């Protein structure tokens, strides 16, 4: 699954729309992401939901490009469970102009160059939101 770019946390809607435009095999999805952890000492489960967007591969696997790398590692260690439930889209058409322009720009790129360009664009989107300087 690491064949797709990792995007900045907090930019799920734009990032997922961009990836769906740049990788036509990825489907855009929206709904709820739920984090569940087992709480010591008795191991009871505690969950938290958030409205979210992600992508789905042709074989139905979820690619959550904005999942924090530390959380991704905790999921792999089975310390945290992350589940997704699709719902109605709240962002219909909102990213069309951006994704069209980006898809045109990267049409000639492939492989690592494509990934790096998209990840740089993700950092640019995040900087527009939080006011930080793009690196």
Residue 84 lies in a domain: yes
Mean of pLDDT over the chain: 83
Six token digits for residue 114? 């494509």
pLDDT of residue 115: 80
Considering the domain boundaries, does residue 7 fall inside one? no
Domain count, the chain: 1
Of all residues in the chain, the percent with pLDDT exceeding 70 is 89
Q: Is residue 1 part of a domain?
A: no
- The partner residues of 38 in beta bridges, in order of sequence, read 45
Asked whether residue 55 carries a pLDDT value surpassing 60, the answer given is yes
Instruction: Please state, in angstroms and as integers, the Cα–Cα distance from residue 74 to each residue in 11, 66, 70, 80, 128, following that order.
Output: 21, 15, 6, 6, 29
Asked, for residue 29, whether it belongs to a domain, the answer is yes
More confident residue, 95 or 49: 49
How confident is the model over 72-109, as pLDDT tens digits? 899 999 889 999 999 887 777 677 677 777 777 777 77
pLDDT class for 131, splitting at 50, 70, 90?
low
Structural domain includes residue 61: yes
Domain that holds residue 116: 12-130
Q: What gap in Å lies between CA 29 and CA 51, rounded to an integer? A: 11
Residue 3 within any structural domain of the chain? no
| Residue 6, in any domain of the structure | no
68 is a domain residue: yes
């Amino acid at each position: 699954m690491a064949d797709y770019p990792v995007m900045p946390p907090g930019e799920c809607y734009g990032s997922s729309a961009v990836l769906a435009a740049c990788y036509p095999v990825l489907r855009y999805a929206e709904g709820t992401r739920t984090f569940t952890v087992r709480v010591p000492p008795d191991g009871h489960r505690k969950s938290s939901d958030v409205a979210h967007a992600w992508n789905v591969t042709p074989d139905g696997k979820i690619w959550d490009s904005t999942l924090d790398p530390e959380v991704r590692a905790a999921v792999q260690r089975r310390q945290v469970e992350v589940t997704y439930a699709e719902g109605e889209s709240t962002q219909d058409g909102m990213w069309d102009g951006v994704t069209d322009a980006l898809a045109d720009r990267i049409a000639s790129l492939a492989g690592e160059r494509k990934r790096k360009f998209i990840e740089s664009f993700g950092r640019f989107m995040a900087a527009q939101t939080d006011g930080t300087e793009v690196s």
